[in-house]
Amino acid sequence: MYELEEKGYLYLLLIIPVLVLLYVYVFYWKRKKQQEFGDSLLLQSLSPEKSTFKPILKMIMVLLGMIFLIIGLINPKMGIKMEKVKRQGIDIVFAIDVSKSMLAEDVAPNRLEKSKQLVSQLINQLGGDKIGIIAYSGNAFPVLPMTSDYAVAKMFLQTMNPGMISSQGTSIDQAIELAANNFFDKKDKTSKLLVIISDGEDHSDNAEAAAEESQKVGLKIVTIGVGTEKGGPIPLKKNGVVERYQKDKDDHVVITHRNAKVLAAIAKTTKGGYVDGNSTRTVVDYVKKVLQSTQKSDFEGTMMADLKSQFQWFIAFGFIVLFVDVFLSERKTKWVRKLNLFNEEKEAS
pLDDT of residue 288: 92
**Residue 2: which of 75, 60, 101 has the closest Cα?**
75
Q: Please tell me the number of Cα atoms within 13 Å of 208 on its side-chain side.
A: 8
Interatomic CA distance for residues 103 and 112, integer angstroms: 6
Q: What is the pLDDT of residues 212-262, one digit of tens each?
A: 988 888 899 999 999 999 999 999 888 888 888 989 888 999 999 999 999
pLDDT of residue 47: 59
pLDDT of residue 256: 92
- Which has more confidence, 202 or 273? 273
Q: Quote the distance between the C-alpha of residue 28 and its chain's center.
A: 53
Task: Find out whether the peptide bond into 109 is cis, omega within 30 degrees of 0.
Answer: yes
Residue 317 carries which side chain, given as an amino acid letter? F
Interatomic CA distance for residues 257 and 279, integer angstroms: 17
Q: What is the pLDDT of residues 62-120, one digit of tens each?
A: 899 899 999 989 888 876 666 666 667 889 999 999 999 999 999 999 999 999 999 99
The SS3 assignment for 342 reads coil
pLDDT of residue 347: 47
Is residue 43's pLDDT more than 80? no
pLDDT of residue 206: 85
Interatomic CA distance for residues 24 and 38, integer angstroms: 21
Domain spans of the chain, in order of start: 2-75+310-348, 85-302
pLDDT of residue 54: 72
Query: Would you say the pTM of this structure is higher than 0.95?
Result: no
Ranked by mean pLDDT, the top range of 214-228, 284-298, 303-317 is 214-228
The CATH superfamily of 85-302 is von Willebrand factor, type A domain (3.40.50.410)
pLDDT of residue 216: 82
